[in-house]
């Protein structure tokens, strides 16, 4: 029986997405065939703890295997996310402005996150990220960065050099760390007595409601709920004091934790806990809905192929690895995937080995259909690709169900 990494309670699996590669492990063409050992595969399954309710991967991949010097994802590639982080930075800067010499630390800053905006505002800051190349790019954008995993050791190093932090912020990182206790221990060492840790990550409620099974990837070790985060925070000496829904990355929550008694618990926490209703019963039927989406999507792609229609992928996201490998979608159904990340272009997708081509390939010529893997950026993408629709192109969506638009 799998045991919860938080409380050691029993974990019941609610979905098994089969044999999967690391979601960001793109390879040069032919390398996987010539050197099969170059690809690491694991069983991607998620379960929920019967005691504390924490949803989690039952067989997580070591963090060092995912977040390394050459980690390809860049937050700045999306205009919408760049705007989100700039807006968040301005808000957080305003919240600490009255403190003497305020200090803000971003955990998992990638190529900038909130840091460039803080730098322009004159707020003392530091980013902590294990990806050397991403951290170097953040530094090039005016940020101060430490290349390291965040935990007690790096937190102690930062505190010794910089003093206590008024705020620790993180986006799409806390849920990635198998040893969640180390994150809270680092925050406890680094934060001032009345400091806060603010983090935003995918929300299990949205994943279930949208059948967004592609949010389950190797990097998302935990799928948070308000109830589970509140229990984890208590276990690690903190208190959940606020929660805020975010309409980014397909549905997230922003959690704020602090040391007990330092802040009033907001009505949003109490209200969300009352209506959350995400007991184990809410997980029943999710796997069946996922299988239905898989079957419909593969059937549609095969029908279009038989009709001689041209279909390509849009967005070589980490989520797309879950979809293509679970559904068995390879170059026979998708000849290539377009992506704006230079580090991915010219490589092939993890596991299914679909070529990744630059955005210019999308219009050379336009396909009949585009399978939108980056559905969480649909509004931004569709606004940018109006010419595709004008040329008669149509989008294939699979969240919350398969449809052509």
Band (pLDDT 50/70/90 cuts) for residue 278 is low
Determine, yes or no, domain membership for 34.
no
Answer yes or no: do 110 and 228 share one domain: yes
- State mean pLDDT over 272-285: 79
> Which of these ranges, 79-88, 168-177, 355-364, 368-377, has the smallest mean pLDDT?
79-88
CA-to-CA dists, residue 142 to 107, 110, 321, angstroms: 17, 13, 33
Given this model, what pLDDT does residue 63 score? 65
Answer yes or no: do 104 and 221 share one domain: yes
Task: Extract the tokens encoding 189.
Answer: 């060492």
Task: Extract the tokens encoding 108.
Answer: 């998992």
Number of domains in the chain: 2
Tell which of 283, 308, 337 closes a domain. Answer: 283
Determine, yes or no, domain membership for 58.
no
Residue numbers of the domain that contains 295: 286-404
Determine, yes or no, domain membership for 51.
no
Answer yes or no: do 118 and 203 share one domain: yes
Given this model, what pLDDT does residue 160 score? 97
Determine, yes or no, domain membership for 105.
yes
Determine, yes or no, domain membership for 275.
yes
Determine, yes or no, domain membership for 248.
yes
- State mean pLDDT over 372-398: 94
CA torsion through residues 350, 69, 346, 312, sign: positive
- 375 vs 82 pLDDT, higher one: 375
Answer yes or no: do 82 and 168 share one domain: yes
Answer yes or no: do 226 and 358 share one domain: no
Answer yes or no: do 237 and 99 share one domain: yes
Q: Is the pLDDT of residue 110 over 60?
A: yes
Q: How many other C-beta atoms are found inside a 10 Å radius of the C-beta of residue 163?
A: 13
pTM for this structure?
0.90
Tell which of 230, 262, 283 closes a domain. Answer: 283
Phi, psi (rounded to 5 degrees) for 12: -100, 120
Band (pLDDT 50/70/90 cuts) for residue 280 is low
Q: Is the pLDDT of residue 370 over 50?
A: yes
Answer yes or no: do 369 and 306 share one domain: yes
Helix (H, G, I), strand (E, B) or coil at 132: helix
CATH number, domain at 323?
3.40.50.720
Answer yes or no: do 120 and 221 share one domain: yes
Please give the torsion angle defined by the CA atoms of residues 5, 10, 12 and 13, in that order, rounded to the nearest 10 degrees.
40
Residue in the block written with tokens 């063409």: 29
Q: How far apart are CA 377 and CA 64, in angstroms?
A: 28
Given this model, what pLDDT does residue 65 score? 59
Answer yes or no: do 298 and 225 share one domain: no
Q: Is the pLDDT of residue 33 over 80?
A: no
CA-to-CA dists, residue 132 to 111, 138, 149, 288, angstroms: 10, 10, 11, 41
Answer yes or no: do 299 and 272 share one domain: no
Determine, yes or no, domain membership for 363.
yes
- State mean pLDDT over 148-165: 96
Q: How far apart are CA 252 and CA 224, in angstroms?
A: 9
Q: Compute and round to an integer the Cα radius of gyration of the chain.
A: 21
Q: How far apart are CA 296 and CA 315, in angstroms?
A: 20
| Nearest to 144, CA basis, from 172, 173, 167, 114 | 114
Answer yes or no: do 232 and 275 share one domain: yes
| Nearest to 155, CA basis, from 192, 184, 187 | 187
Q: Helices 152-162 and 180-190 meet at what angle, rounded to 10?
A: 20
Answer yes or no: do 242 and 328 share one domain: no
CATH number, domain at 123?
3.40.50.150
Tell which of 250, 283, 316 closes a domain. Answer: 283
Band (pLDDT 50/70/90 cuts) for residue 68 is very low
Band (pLDDT 50/70/90 cuts) for residue 74 is low
pLDDT digits 0-9 by tens, 183-235: 999 999 999 999 999 999 999 999 999 999 999 999 999 999 999 999 999 99
Determine, yes or no, domain membership for 26.
no
């Amino acid at each position: 029986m799998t045991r919860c990494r938080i409380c050691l309670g029993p974990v019941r699996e609610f979905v098994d997405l089969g044999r999967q590669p690391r979601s960001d492990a793109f390879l040069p063409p032919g390398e996987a065939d010539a050197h099969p050992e170059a690809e690491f595969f694991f069983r991607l399954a998620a379960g929920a703890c019967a005691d504390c309710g924490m949803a989690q991967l039952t067989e997580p991949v070591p963090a060092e295997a995912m977040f390394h010097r050459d980690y390809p994802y860049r937050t700045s590639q999306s205009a919408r996310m760049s705007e989100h982080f700039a807006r968040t930075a301005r808000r957080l800067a305003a919240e600490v402005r009255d403190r003497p010499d305020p200090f803000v630390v971003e955990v998992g800053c990638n190529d900038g996150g909130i840091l460039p905006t803080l730098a322009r505002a004159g707020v003392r800051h530091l980013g902590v990220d294990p990806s050397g190349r991403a951290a170097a790019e953040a530094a090039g954008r005016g940020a101060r960065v430490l290349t390291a995993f965040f935990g007690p050791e790096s937190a102690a190093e930062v505190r010794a050099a910089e003093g206590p932090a008024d705020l620790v912020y993180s986006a799409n990182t806390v849920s990635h760390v198998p040893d969640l206790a180390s994150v809270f221990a680092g925050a406890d060492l680094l934060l001032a007595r009345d400091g806060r840790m603010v983090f935003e990550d995918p929300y299990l409620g949205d994943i279930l409601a949208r059948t967004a099974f592609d949010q389950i990837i190797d990097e998302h070790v935990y799928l948070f709920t308000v109830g589970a985060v509140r229990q984890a925070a208590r276990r690690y000496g903190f208190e959940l004091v606020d929660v805020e829904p975010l309409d980014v990355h397909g549905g997230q929550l922003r959690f704020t934790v602090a040391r007990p008694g330092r802040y009033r618990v907001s009505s949003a926490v109490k209200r969300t806990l009352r209506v959350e209703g995400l007991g184990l019963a809410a997980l029943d039927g999710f796997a069946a809905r996922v299988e239905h989406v898989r079957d419909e999507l593969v059937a549609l792609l095969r029908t279009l192929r038989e009709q001689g229609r041209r279909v390509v992928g849009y967005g070589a996201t980490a989520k797309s690895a879950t979809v293509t490998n679970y559904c068995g979608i390879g170059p026979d159904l998708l000849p290539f995937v377009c992506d704006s990340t230079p580090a991915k272009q010219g490589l092939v997708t993890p596991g299914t080995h679909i070529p990744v081509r630059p955005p210019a390939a999308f219009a050379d010529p336009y396909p009949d259909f585009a399978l939108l893997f980056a559905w969480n950026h649909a509004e931004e993408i569709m606004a940018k690709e109006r010419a595709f629709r004008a040329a008669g192109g149509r989008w294939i969506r699979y969240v919350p169900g398969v449809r052509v638009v």
